[in-house]
Structure formats: C-alpha cells, structure tokens
Amino acid sequence: MQTCSQKPHASHSSSVPASGSSVNRAIALRIKRNAAQRLSGGTALLILLGLAAMLSVAFGAREVGWSEIVAALSGQVETMGDAAVASRLPRTLLAMLAGAALGVSGGVMQGLTRNPLADPGLLGVNAGAALAVVIGIAWFGIDETTSYIWTAIAGAAISACAVYAIASLGRGGATPLRLALAGAAITAALSSLTTAVVLPRGDIGGLVQSWLVGGVGGATYDQLLPVLPFLMTGFVITLLAARKLNMLALGDDTAAGLGEKVAVARAMSAVGAVLLCGPITAVCGPIGFVGLVVPHACRLLAGGDYRWLLPFSALGGAVLLTFSDVAGRLIAHPSELDVGIVTAFIGAPVFIWIVRNRKVGSL
Amino acid sequence: MSACSLLAQGLVAGYGERTILYDVNLSVPAGQTTAIVGANACGKSTLLRVLSRLLTPSQGSVLLEGNAIHQLPTRHLAQQLGFLPQSPIAPEGISVLELVSRGRHPHQGLFKRWSSADEVAVADALAATHLSELAERHMDELSGGQRQRVWIAMALAQQTKVLLLDEPTTFLDINHQIDVLDLLTDLNRQRGTTIVMVLHELNLAARYADQLVAMANGKVYAAGPPGEILTEQMVREVFGLESRVIEDPVTGKPMMIPIGRHGGIHTANAPCSQHKKAPCFG
C-alpha cells in the first residue's frame, strides 16, 4: 500500500477570486424575475379556476337564473333550479379535486420516471385501479365509496409495482423508454382483463361501463368526503418529495452524488402519486390525459423546479378538468358528455405534439 | 496517514454475480489529483462508483478521512465528497444558474431554505468556471465544453473536499479537454480540492495527475507519480500495446507514443519489400 504525502501547493485554500457582486446581483435579479413570473402565472390560474367554478355552477342541463344560483349557494333549495344548482356544487368540487390530484400525480410520475409521457393513465396505474374496482364490484359486490377507494389504491399500487418491475428487468434498469413500453403493455393487458370480467355480467355491465368512461357527473358529498383524507395525504407526501424529484431529474448517479437516497425518493414519490390517482379513479373512473397535459403546460409557467411545478399542476389540473366538465355539459346539451371523453379530445393531440416535438426521455 | 483523503482496502465489487474488482487497495493523497487509467472493462469506472458509494463492495471498505463511507449518512457524505458521472442529465429548459444551484442540495434541508451561504457558493462556482456571463443561459444553448464546465460548477457549489469525476473529458474536442483539465487543476491548486478522475487518454492523465493509477483485470497494477508509472512495460502489460515513452517537451512529464502494426520508421526494422505499395524511406 502506498502512503500519502501532502503537496505544498494544497495548503492554501481560498485564493480563487471572490465572486464579484455583479454575479450576486444577476442571481438576485434572476430569482426576482422568476418569482414575478410565477406570481403572475399563479394569479392567472387562480382567476381561471374561479371562472371555471362559476361556469360549472351556472351551466348544465337545466338553465337557471342568477337568483336560483344565489339561493342555492346560500343553502336554500326550494325550486327545481335551486336543486339543480345545489347538485352542481359537489360535482364542481370533485372536478377541481380530481383535476388537481391527477395533475400533481402526472407531474410526479413524469419526474419519477424522467419520462415526458408519464401519466397515471399511460403507466398502467389507472388501468390497475379500474380492474381492481371492477373485480371488486363483479366478484365481491363492493358498493361503498370507501371500499372502492381502498380497492383502487391497491390496484393502482400493484400495477405501478408491476410496471416498474417489468421495466427494471435486465441490464440498465428502468429507463424512461422501458417504463413507457411496460406501461403500455400492462395497460392493454389490464383493460382486456377488465372487459373479460365485465362481459359475462349483464347485471353490472351498465354500471361499470359508465364508470369506466370517467366522469364527475352525479357526484355527491357522500362520495366526496371519504376521498379527502387520501388526497390530503397524497398532496403532502408529493410536496415533500418535490426536492427529491429535482434531484432525480439530474439522473440517478448525480442525485446520489448530491446526497439523495434514490430508492427512497422514488418510493416516496410513487406512494404520493398512487394516493392521489387511486382514490380519484375509484370515484370518477379512469380519467386520462390530465396528468399528461397539465404538467407540461405548467412547466411553461413555473419552470422545471418541482417545488413550484407541483402546486401549479394542482391548480392547472383543477382548471382543466372543471372547464372540460363544463364543456362536456354544453357540447351535448341538453344531454352530457362525460369529462373523460372531453379530456381525451384535448389530451390526444397534446400527446402527439409531445411525441413529435420532444425527445422521449429528455426530462 | 493523516494526509490521506480516501483509502480503499481490499475492495471486491461487481454487479450481481459478476465480480469486477478483485482485492483493490488504493490510497488517494489529500490535495492531489489522482487519475485512474486502464483498458476498457478493467474496472476503473467500477472503482470510482465504489469510491463514491454508488456501489457497495461485497468485501473491503472505503475510508474518507478515517470514516467508512458506506456507513456515513448520505447527506453528510455528500457534503464532503462530490461525484460527477460520465453522462449527467440536464432537465429540459434548465438554466445554468438553476443547475449550479442544485449543487447546494446536501447543504439544504426541508426547512432550511436558500441562504446567503448558498448564494455565495453558487456565485463563486460560476466565477471559478468562467460561467458568470452565461448564468442566465439555458443548458441546451451551450456547447459540449461549456456544458461540462456547468456540471463541474455544480460539483463546486457542493463545496466538497473531494471530487470524483468519471471521464470528464469524453465526447469533448481536444481544446475543450485541455480546458476542462486546466480548470480541474486550478481547483486543485487554488482550493486544495482532492480530485480523483477516470481518464481515457493516457497522455493527458500523465500530464495532469500527481498520482497515476493503472488498473488491469480488476486490480491496481501500479500507482504512483506518472514518471514512475507510465513506462513502456506498463503500457504493454496493462493495455497490450507496444509503445515508446518519451519526455513531453512541454511539461517534462512522460508521454506515450503507440507503435501499432503500421508503426514508424524507428521501430522494427521491417524490410521494405513487405510494404511495396507504400513509399519507404527506411
């Protein structure tokens, strides 16, 4: 074994010229400008969200006047119009919550897999939740929101693990491309299984079919309340994981070199994402593309820092899903188009745009 | 041994069933530049991964100033030891400033936000890598050499005493290779940062390293000052290559010139008749 000897030149350690205040000023300026940009972006999203909520309460199959909206909002339900508006309140809340949860969940999955195409729908997580719920309905006769939620979370978690395990097989580990392929394969397999479970069951066919499209129509407070604790936990975990996602974005080796436990970071983010999209799938059915589109749009406003991107994705998702729900009611008036169909119409072109304009795996 | 920065003892490591390092012993002197060279698949990158704790050895240990790195808390280690992989990933649309700022990660906590110490460290790292003017630019607008400087700046902002780099000059033009190695030498001389890097280019390694580590077949073949290590015999046994080693007229360090099968006029006394098509001045 060799011995070590200190070289004389290594003794003085601080002779690199000091930074210079111009750099500090540039940094301060940059930080200020970023903050200003985020502030205006965030304000715009909040205004849009307020607008979407108002439209969602005001428009629907039955045309209502201002007096009826005001009456319903203040808790008086006397006329048919009042009742219609009152029934739109939980629906609007659910649309906002579902959009926020799916937006954050998509952003987390994109960061976790470093894959711009990641989305609870595309990675097989929603399909897993859907299959679990359908099996629960068909074979075990579950009919309570809480049991739907737990079943969906279990299904989402199992399929997320399966996709990750399949993508990790062989040398090189779970690259973004492998994850996307494994996600597509698992989604296809789970969807056919879901069909196979439902087909022989004429008694539940109608119920499951309408649920499988994904919608927030007919939402009640009884459905909404059990979801809340899961979503709150999910939001807190994902926000705590945001710094870790910033590190994962630099590649696993760099993240580890910067003191991040890569496996812990992945697991924590994944748990948060599943807690967000599983319960939403349980209540609304699988709603696609929100988790894909929203984080990409929010990157333009908030930049790539997940500590900002995730809250922005929550707002953006709420805006997108609420507007989509309103659009679904207006387009098919006096009937309704489920919000899952509307988001697919918006999301599919964006999906194609992302594939054509970006290198997959460049996150 | 107090001036020893990293000390590897009896390392055995590999991936799954495949063992790549067999009983590697190495000591890295504090405040010096150590370059690890060797043929492809000799285990040099694996050794660097073990030294940086990305890979846990099945036997042996790595001590950083006397503490076993595989037992240190992750963040604690990252405050003392930086690692730059061969191909780090720049998130899309990230600016130079944002990327360099992420080097402060191990110094920040969940509730310990961006501090003035962070700001000074980042500004310092940008100045030392001559990137202050480019701080606002996006990574995708930079040249390969500039991007590599940004990564080094990020590692600098981490303010570690030891910096490990896996082939920091790969994919760079020769002028940028020299630029990066000069920069690392500046850091070593001016800040006393201990540098350990895997290098492909033997002559650059001999030129810039205080200690040259030659690896072959998962073991350290020889380690020491380049003048003692870079010999014709070493090149033959480590790389399987016949060569001449002469003194570099610029630095006085040893310089290896490969002979190859179509080698030059001063080597084998090849008869001219074997090279009928080529003009022969022998």
Angstrom distances, CA of residue B275 to CA of A186, A273, B272: 62, 69, 6
Which helix (H) or strand (E) element contains residue A241?
helix A221-248
Query: pLDDT above 70 covers what percent of chain B?
Result: 90
For strands B33-38 and B194-198, give the pairing: parallel
- SS3 at position A259: coil
More confident of the two residues A252 and B111: A252
Are A23 and B210 inside 8 Å of each other by CB? Answer: no
- When scoring A258, A308, A309 by the number of chain B Cβ atoms within 10 A, the one with the most, hence best to mutate, is A258
Q: To which residue do tokens 């790549």 refer?
A: B20
Residues with Cβ within 8 Å of residue A70, at least 6 apart in sequence: none
Residue B105: closest CA among chain A residues belongs to which residue?
Answer: A258
Q: What pLDDT, on the 0 to 100 scale, is given for residue B224?
A: 94
Residue B231 has pLDDT above 80, yes or no: yes
Burial tier of A146 (Cβ tally within 10 Å: 0-12, 13-18, 19+): middle
- Which residues of chain A fall below pLDDT 70? 1-27, 172, 176, 357-363
Angstrom distances, CA of residue B51 to CA of A50, B32, B164, B209: 54, 16, 8, 18
Spell B123-137 as b/e; 16+ CB within 10 A means b. Answer: bbbbbbbebbebbee
Residues with Cβ within 8 Å of residue A43, at least 6 apart in sequence: none
Domain spans, chain A: 93-317+340-357
More confident of the two residues B275 and A29: A29
Per-residue pLDDT of B261-270, as tens digits, reads 876 665 445 4
Burial tier of B263 (Cβ tally within 10 Å: 0-12, 13-18, 19+): middle
Are B29 and A253 inside 8 Å of each other by CB? Answer: no
Per-residue pLDDT of B124-173, as tens digits, reads 899 888 888 888 888 888 988 899 999 999 999 999 999 999 999 988 88
Report, as an integer, the average pLDDT of B194-216. 94
Report, as an integer, the average pLDDT of B233-253. 92
Q: What pLDDT, on the 0 to 100 scale, is given for residue A213?
A: 79
CB A136 within 8 A of CB A142: yes
The one-character DSSP state at A203 is H
Residue B91 has pLDDT above 70, yes or no: yes
Q: What pLDDT, on the 0 to 100 scale, is given for residue A4?
A: 55
Cα A311 from Cα A103, distance rounded (Å)? 9
CB A124 within 8 A of CB A339: no
CB B241 within 8 A of CB B258: yes
Q: What pLDDT, on the 0 to 100 scale, is given for residue A206?
A: 77
Spell A99-128 as b/e; 16+ CB within 10 A means b. Answer: bbbbbbbbbbbbbbbbbbbbbbbbbbbbbb
Q: What pLDDT, on the 0 to 100 scale, is given for residue B16?
A: 80
Burial tier of A139 (Cβ tally within 10 Å: 0-12, 13-18, 19+): exposed
Angstrom distances, CA of residue A99 to CA of A21, A65, A287, A288, A347: 44, 27, 9, 11, 13
Report, as an integer, the average pLDDT of B15-21. 86
Between A306-331 and A339-357, two packed helices, what is the crossing angle to 10 degrees?
A: 130
| Angstroms from A277 CA to nearest CA on chain B | 25
Chain B hits for A12, Cβ within 8 Å: 190, 192
Q: What is the pTM of this model?
A: 0.84
CATH of the domain spanning A93-317+340-357: 1.10.3470.10
Mean pLDDT of chain B: 86
Residue B118, phi then psi, degrees to nearest 5: -60, -45
Chain A / chain B CB contacts < 8 angstroms:
162
Are A10 and B189 inside 8 Å of each other by CB? Answer: yes
More confident of the two residues B4 and B78: B78
Are A24 and B123 inside 8 Å of each other by CB? Answer: yes
Spell B42-63 as b/e; 16+ CB within 10 A means b. Answer: bbbbbbbbbbbbbbebeebbbb
Domain spans, chain B: 2-90+157-256
- When scoring B2, B26, B65, B102 by the number of chain A Cβ atoms within 10 A, the one with the most, hence best to mutate, is B102
| Angstroms from B234 CA to nearest CA on chain A | 18
CATH of B2-90+157-256, one of 3.40.718.10, 3.40.50.300, 3.10.150.10, 2.40.50.180: 3.40.50.300
Q: What pLDDT, on the 0 to 100 scale, is given for residue B207?
A: 94
Cα A234 from Cα A273, distance rounded (Å)? 7
Residue B21 has pLDDT above 80, yes or no: yes
Are B132 and A20 inside 8 Å of each other by CB? Answer: yes
Q: What pLDDT, on the 0 to 100 scale, is given for residue B2?
A: 42
CA atoms within 13 A on the CB side of A311: 14
Q: Where are the alpha helices (DSSP H) in chain B?
A: 44-51, 74-78, 96-101, 116-128, 144-157, 174-191, 202-208, 226-229, 232-234
Chain A hits for B196, Cβ within 8 Å: none
CB nearest to B123's CB, from A23, A305, A358: A23
